[in-house]
Amino acid sequence: MKKVLGFLKDETVLSVSAALALISCFLVPPDREYLGYINIDTLGTLFCLMAVMAGFRKLGVFQRLAQGLLGKIKNERGLTLTLTALCFFCSMVITNDVALITFVPLAILIADMEDRESSLVLTVTLMTVAANLGSILTPIGNPQNLYIYSVSGMGMGEFVLSMLPYAAGAAVLLVVFTLIFVKNSPVNVTIKDRPPEMSKFDLCWFSALFLLCILSVAKLIPVTVLLPVIIVAVAVRDWRLILKVDYSLLATFLCFFIFIGNMGRFAPFKNAVLSVLQGHVLPVSVGLSQIISNVPAALLLGGFTEDWKELLTGVNLGGLGTLIASMASLISYKHLSRHSPSLKGRYLLIFTAVNAAFLAILYPISFLV
């Protein structure tokens, strides 16, 4: 029972999505149409990206990048700006989850060295906001982007341009917040823990695999071709990397595909959702993200609307707000709470306030674009 309760606590979104999928199967009994529910492109591309990113993380690529930049920092404001910029720009390529998994522990390590616990809360908050907002610019930046890009038929240029005003506004806000709220006191960052020696062959190997993923996202390589190539190529270098893939996220997508497919065939539910969404896709997706997080919100609403740009904007801006609005935000919270349990309350307060401010400032951009 303890193991079951522990699983439900750690995998709440997966547990809820599985329950919803199961309930929907009673409303619409399994048949051949179930096969049409699953978006293979989304699941396959997500798997490939996560496997390749696991390879880069093993090589310490991102840690080396961070340490090379941080070694030149001389003041606290510059330190926060650098950590925030790393999360913002790297999340566009390595996803918001991987950016936070990589750089938040580094920020905590530096805080311990410099006795900066008092400023750690704001730094981690800005890093989390940066990862969530930097990732909105590209189809591979976060799971909801990849899903919407796969099903909407948008081109790469159209996708990036639709999110560019929000990403640009976020970049300006991050700099302004840092300049206003972070002190300019001196720091001396010297990180003694170095990542293991990196094989140049492995770096080229995984870089080539990442290029294949990008070509697949650009619809130049079918996912059905990419998937077996990535599995074999990653396993050849280290089969354990396949185990590093976030299978709970893939299972969550699968459950939501089943739930949405079934509910789309259940007239009372379908009609209710369509009436609520009519002309209100953006505010509904922002609001729903606050309750169930933006990835499930994108999957749920994506089954009932073709206003893809409004949905894309809504679920990406919807990642701001509550702690669960973006599941990636929980990564930062878990790292901080494990390191400094006494800071949890303060973090939740500052995190919510900063996120609400960003949402209030960025949301009006939708009326302009």
In the chain, how many H helices and how many E strands? 19, 0
Give the per-residue pLDDT at 292.
85
| pLDDT exceeds 80 at position 163 | yes
What six digits make up the tokens of 42?
């989304």
- Model confidence pLDDT, tens digit, residues 95-132: 898 899 889 988 888 877 666 666 889 999 999 999 99
Torsion (CA) 241, 244, 249, 254 in degrees, nearest 10: 40
Give the per-residue pLDDT at 175.
96
Strand-pairing partners, residue 335, are: none
- Model confidence pLDDT, tens digit, residues 207-266: 999 999 999 988 889 999 999 999 999 999 999 999 999 898 899 889 989 988 898 888
- What would the mean pLDDT of 58-82 be, rounded to a whole number? 82
Q: In the chain, pLDDT over 70 holds for what percent of residues?
A: 94
| pLDDT exceeds 90 at position 137 | yes
Q: In the chain, pLDDT over 90 holds for what percent of residues?
A: 54
The upper half-sphere exposure of residue 228, i.e. CA atoms within 13 Å in the direction of its Cβ, equals 3
Strand-pairing partners, residue 75, are: 186
State how far the Cα of 95 lies from the Cα of 130, in Å rounded to an integer.
Answer: 12
State how far the Cα of 339 lies from the Cα of 319, in Å rounded to an integer.
Answer: 24
Give the per-residue pLDDT at 195.
65
- Model confidence pLDDT, tens digit, residues 251-264: 988 998 998 889 88
| pLDDT exceeds 70 at position 42 | yes
| pLDDT exceeds 90 at position 65 | no
Between 110 and 299, the higher pLDDT residue: 299
State how far the Cα of 338 lies from the Cα of 299, in Å rounded to an integer.
Answer: 31
Long-range contacts formed by 182-185: CB under 8 A, 24+ apart = 182/76, 182/77, 182/80, 182/119, 182/122, 182/123, 183/76, 183/77, 183/119, 184/75, 184/76, 184/77, 185/75, 185/76
Give the per-residue pLDDT at 284.
95
Out of 121-130, 139-148, 282-291, 333-342, least confident range:
333-342
